């Protein structure tokens, strides 16, 4: 239960980071934090206390195994998160080149 609660705290930290920070690099880091908290939550769903790996061997019965599917999905999620981070960071670099600042309040040429 504590793990789930900490997961929620992490999600909120990430959301706070995106909503309140002015530096766009910090916003990207906030996005990463949310990404990790959701991944962690996904892994926790599949976890069983004192569980074992779900590998079938000849002469044993498996009573308490960890669900492998969330782990496979989290791998995909991590890769997608990497892609998003790469795109946003490369845009941030270009933004710095054009505007000369990372401050989100000074990057506002679009209006209306």
**Binding region for other proteins (CB under 8 A):** 15, 18, 24, 27-28, 31, 34-35, 38, 41-42, 45, 67, 69-70, 73, 76-77, 80, 83-84, 87-88, 91-92, 94-95, 98-99, 107-110, 112
Q: How far is the CB of 92 from other proteins (least distance, A)?
A: 7
Tokens of 22: 């002015």
Closer residue to other proteins, CB minimum distance, 56 or 59: 56
CA atoms of 25 and 98, how far apart (whole Å)? 16
Apex 81 CA angle, 104 and 12, nearest 5 = 60
CA atoms of 112 and 107, how far apart (whole Å)? 15
Q: How far is the CB of 39 from other proteins (least distance, A)?
A: 9
């Amino acid at each position: 239960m504590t793990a789930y609660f900490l997961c929620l705290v992490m999600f909120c930290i990430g959301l706070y980071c995106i909503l309140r920070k002015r530096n766009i690099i910090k916003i990207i880091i906030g996005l990463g934090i949310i990404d990790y908290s959701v991944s962690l939550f996904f892994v926790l769903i599949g976890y069983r206390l004192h569980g074992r790996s779900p590998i079938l061997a000849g002469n044993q019965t498996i009573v308490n195994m960890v669900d492998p599917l969330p782990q496979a999905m989290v791998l995909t999620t991590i890769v997608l998160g990497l892609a998003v981070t790469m795109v946003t960071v490369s845009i941030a670099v270009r933004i710095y080149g054009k505007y000369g600042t990372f401050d989100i309040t000074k990057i506002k040429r679009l209006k209306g």
